[in-house]
Each structure stands twice: as structure tokens, then as C-alpha cells.
Amino acid sequence: MLRHVHKTLRRSVGKALHRYDMIADGDRVLVGLSGGADSLTLMWCLKERLARVPIHYDLFAVYIDPGFEDGFSDDLIRYSDGMGYALRVEHTDFGPLSHSDVNLENPCFLCSRLRRKRLFEVARELGCRKLALGHNKDDIIETLFLNMCYAGEISTMLPVQPFFQGAFTVIRPLAFSDEEVIRRFAKEMAFPEFVNSCPSAATSRRAEIKAMLKTLYRSNRKIKGNIFRSMSHVKPDYLLQ
């Protein structure tokens, strides 16, 4: 089973990396770890790939600790050490701040924005122009629906996305990888489960969209693939001007 899942995952990651030319020889890549199956799988894939490709790149794992009680940063450090890579932890108060009375925005939006800002700052310090994040195919589809429902626009995350006039580039090597495959791979690899202590984790807008899409997918197995393909087959002439 593991060999089949690994082959499927390696194929989808390789497809994304090559189609968008995500990583070049000599790149210094900051990998954003969250402790979830996606980011742990991403780090494993990028590290394992180094032994098979004719280029070299350096990986720097970074975890932005949001500052909730019962955090798992120490456990994540020990796990990373056991996997053969050093983890840098940035301790912040972004989580409690985003859920406090001083924040008038959606807590998830503010927390995400602050964590992303800190990742860019650390990337600059480490000399990394590439930031690898663990967003997968399901995340990209969900973001499309989030933006339509709550922002009134048709947009989503890109597999390769430049920031600050090209000073940094966010890459998403799992862009073609299904969440289900990643979960199966993480289970077969016995990746530890780090519990997200965020109070909004189970009640966020993304969780609502995910539940809606799961219901839709159950009605027709082709729907998910069709939605994903539709984002690269846009007909502007048939959209409202």
C-alpha cells in the first residue's frame, strides 16, 4: 500500500515541480511547517527528492508558533531532529491576538496574514527567495469557493506566486496532490499527529466550505477534478463584465 501511495504522491509532486519550474539548482528554500500532515509530507518529499535529482537545493524548516496554550513546538522540534533536519521555531502571540477584542477582522485571516509576514521576514534573514507551503489540491479548490462566497471574486492560490516584485516566490509543490492521498501517506509513514489548539480550527469558514464540497463530491466522483480543471480553462467572454 505504501509503495502505491508513495508513487502517486511522488508523481503529483514531480508534476507540479516540473510544470512550474518551482526549484532550481542552488535555491535556498524555506519550508513552512505547521505540524499538519500536509507540511510534514511536503518536507519529507522535498528532502527525499534531493537524493534522486541532478540538482542541489537547501531546505530550511520553520514553524511559526501562534502562541496558544498547550502548543506542540517542543514535540515538533524533537520529531524534526529525528527526521534529520533542524527546525527553527518562531514564538509569537498571533493566535491569541487574532482572537482578542482588538481584532475586528476574521481571526483566521489576521492570524494567517501575520504568520505569512513573519515567514517572509525569516526567509529574508536566511537568504531564502523561495517559500514552500503545504497547500494541496483541495486547499486550492476550497480557496476558490471561499473567495467567491466571502470576497465576491473568482480567484485562488497559485502553485507559484511571486511577492514583493519578485523578491520572494511562494511555491506549492502539493498543488496537484489530493488531500486523501496525503492523509494516507502520512498514516502509512506513521507521522505524528500534532493537535491544533486554535479555537477556530473546527468552526472556520474553510471548514464550512470543506464540508459543503465533500457533500458535492459524494454525489459525483468527477466533480472535484472538473472544478480543479476549470480554473485553468476560464472563458472570460462568458463572465460578467
Surface-to-core class of residue 136, CB atoms within 10 Å of its CB (0-12 exposed, 13-18 middle, 19+ buried): buried
Residues facing residue 32 across a β-bridge? 62
112 is an annotated ligand-binding site residue: no
27 is an annotated ligand-binding site residue: no
How far is it, in rounded angstroms, from Cα 116 to Cα 83?
25
How far is it, in rounded angstroms, from Cα 56 to Cα 83?
19
- Please choose, from the candidates 42, 59, 44, 38, the residue with its C-alpha nearest in 3D space to the C-alpha of residue 123: 59
33 is an annotated ligand-binding site residue: yes
Q: Are 21 and 14 in contact (CB under 8 A)?
A: no
Residues facing residue 171 across a β-bridge? 132, 160
38 is an annotated ligand-binding site residue: yes
237 is an annotated ligand-binding site residue: no
- Please choose, from the candidates 48, 81, 42, the residue with its C-alpha nearest in 3D space to the C-alpha of residue 175: 42
Q: Which residues are annotated as a binding site?
A: 32-34, 38, 64, 134, 139
Q: Which residues are annotated as a binding site for ATP?
A: 32-34, 38, 64, 134, 139
